[in-house]
Amino acid sequence: MAFPRPKPTTMETLAMERANPPFNVRKLSIAMHGSEKALVLKEKFMAEIARHPAFKLSDIHDLSKDELRERTMEKFASMVYFVTNESLETFSLRMQLIGIADPSFWTRFGVAYGLFLGALRSGATPNQLSYWIDKGVLGLNGVIGCFAMTELAHGSNVAGLETTATFDRESDTFVIHTPHLGATKWWIGGAASTATHAAVFAQLIVDGKKHGVKTFVTQLRDTKTFQLLSGVTIGDIGKKMGRDGIDNGYIQFTYVRVPRAHMLMKHTQVSRDGVVTEPPLAQLTYGALLGGRTSMVADSSNSAKKALTVAVRYAAVRRQFSSGKNEVETQLLDYPIHQRRLMPLVAQAVAMGFTGLRLQVMYEQMTQALDTMEPNDPNLNDILDKLKETHATSAGLKAFCTWACLDTIDKCRQSCGGHGYSAYSNFPLMYADFAVQCTWEGDNTILSLQAGRSLVGAWGGAIKGKKLAPGVAYLNDSSILTAKSDSSLSLSDIQRAWQCVAANVIKKAAEEYVSHLKAGRSKDQAMEICSQSRFIAAKVHTVGYIFRLFREAVDEMDDSEETKLLKTVARLYGLWQIEEQQGYFLKYGYFTAQQIDKVQDNVDKLCAEVRGVAIPLVDSFALSDHIINSPLGKWDGSVYESYFAQVQAANPAPKEHPYFNRLIKPLLERQNEDMEDPDEAMGLEDELKEMEEERREGK
């Protein structure tokens, strides 16, 4: 007698998925993290925060807004120790991990260190910076900063901010003032409850003349009593979509005086006599924006990897339906359509990760060049061109990487079915916390248009014979416009495909722009009219740029099984994106319709190939159970046991029903009132019968 084959447990299933991978998971993980040192540090940080009581995450879904804010503040003391005792490189890696584990704290701490201190570093003179460090900025002992840029009526248009800073020559002070409601500082992280000082962005006015937006360090609260200073009005902007651990607030200034020395004067100076000296190279202020955008590319990759680790592990252990004579239900990950849902997203997350690593190197090199550059530097023009190109490229990358990550989180949630909708899956919080990345540090659509504007300018330079920066150098090759596929669908064929289509969509945007100029439009009007073409140019160029940086990183690796896998992942990313944007590749003739069919066939096969190693591949993302904080993504596969235990622990049965007596009991025990029948009360039926008989008699 044949007995039915027992269904493997979820833990056994995941163990089988990990058995004998064709590559070394540790070596692959090192490659993804950029170095063994970075991976070892990450593992050390994960162990530290898993044991830190303030970094408890299992109950985070059931905390109130006020409890979340208090928990956020509990973490500050430990981080102050690390920021004052670790190198900048090590501390940056620590905060990168914390950004995945607890985005609210990462943001609140980042407001003090990334934005407030960052504003000082980028805008203060050496003496000013030393002064504020002596005041306690670094150790938060004397100054807790916030970043007061955004206003109620102005966000992305920083040049249009309406808070004013008017120079008073007699007292040698600036008068910071909110002239109307729309100029109220809004969304200011840290303002509501915790900041003592703000880096206030305001219009500099000297002798009635505006000199543009500058930065002024303004004290908000008494550091001893924590009472608001005279002229400062602060409130809480309340509940948000996510990141409730951040105390976002609003600030209004009513003729608040700050010393002249509190204006950051690295670039623009105002003398005691009111003489304003503007920077000789306004482009140098671009550099301050690159750090945040660079970190957001890495954060997009890391957050996507977190969501994918959960979704892929769950898809491996979740069984649904059986096929043929197979008595054991099929793993979700074995269905081709489920592979299509997740494997391209895994490839995209890996591609963004390598892009982030290379972008960080570029940013560090650029920062070093800017710090050492003098106005008479012989390489001045080359450095400024590279700065402009990096600025525009980082704008496009920030936009399309954050959009891609947010989309990944939601697709991962949907791929987990009903359980993905539970707060304990961690997808709802991941999505709510990450959504803001598409808005802050520049609205994504506006950043895309900035990138598109730069690409239009690059095309103009290319047709004049100018040698372009590496990121857009393909525009110097006019033959790329008419390139055709060799049908190999190799990495080089894919890269050429993206360059061909990007060059064509950029050319279209540039020609539209020129046609509007010839029709008598101003430069700004012409740019606005061709916004959609600029957006498309930015999108296609950025995806191709991500693919190119990923491919370059892989090409630089030694031959190994890990490199072989990464080349497979790179092909999947490049071909999947071609499939997603196939209209452009057909429009400009790089691929024929038959070749696009071949692209689809290859994506199917690559998804199946990556599925075979999906679990060890996501293991190489090196994210602990504590960081993931989702029972659906448990490393050991104990999905249902962990899920049930967490739900039970977070939702104990109350000793007494909270609203039975007040609401449910009256409903259950209500008496149906005897309703009077109006028909019977009127005797209507008898009356109608009499009327009918009278009609008959009349006939």
- How many angstroms separate the CA atoms of 609 and 314, rounded? 19
Q: Which strands, in side-by-side order, build the sheet including 248-253?
A: 185-189, 248-253, 232-236
Q: Are strands 248-253 and 232-236 parallel, antiparallel or unpaired?
A: antiparallel
User: Counting Cβ atoms within 10 Å, is residue 69 exposed (0-12), middle (13-18) or buried (19+)?
Assistant: buried
- How many angstroms separate the CA atoms of 457 and 513, rounded? 10
- How many angstroms separate the CA atoms of 522 and 394, rounded? 27
What residues does 141 pair with on adjacent strands?
none
- Integer angstrom CA distances of residue 563 from 297, 344, 557, 566: 22, 18, 7, 5
Is residue 36 annotated as part of the catalytic site, yes or no?
Answer: no
Given the residues 441, 687, 694, 697, select the one marked as catalytic: 441
HSE of 680 in the Cβ direction (CA atoms, 13 Å)?
3
Residues sharing a CB contact under 8 Å with residue 395, sequence separation 6 or more, in sequence order: 293, 442, 447, 448, 450, 451, 454
The response to whether 163 counts as a known ligand-binding position is no
The response to whether 13 counts as a known ligand-binding position is no
Residue 276 · residue 211 · CB < 8 Å: yes
Distance spanning both ends of the chain, measured CA to CA: 88
Handedness of CA 18, 19, 21, 26 (dihedral sign): positive
- How many angstroms separate the CA atoms of 109 and 145, rounded? 10
Identity of the amino acid at 38: A
Residues sharing a CB contact under 8 Å with residue 185, sequence separation 6 or more, in sequence order: 148, 149, 150, 151, 152, 163, 178, 191, 198, 200, 250, 251, 252
Enzyme catalytic residues: 441
Give the residue ranges of the annotated binding site for FAD: 150, 189
Give the residue ranges of the annotated binding site: 150, 189
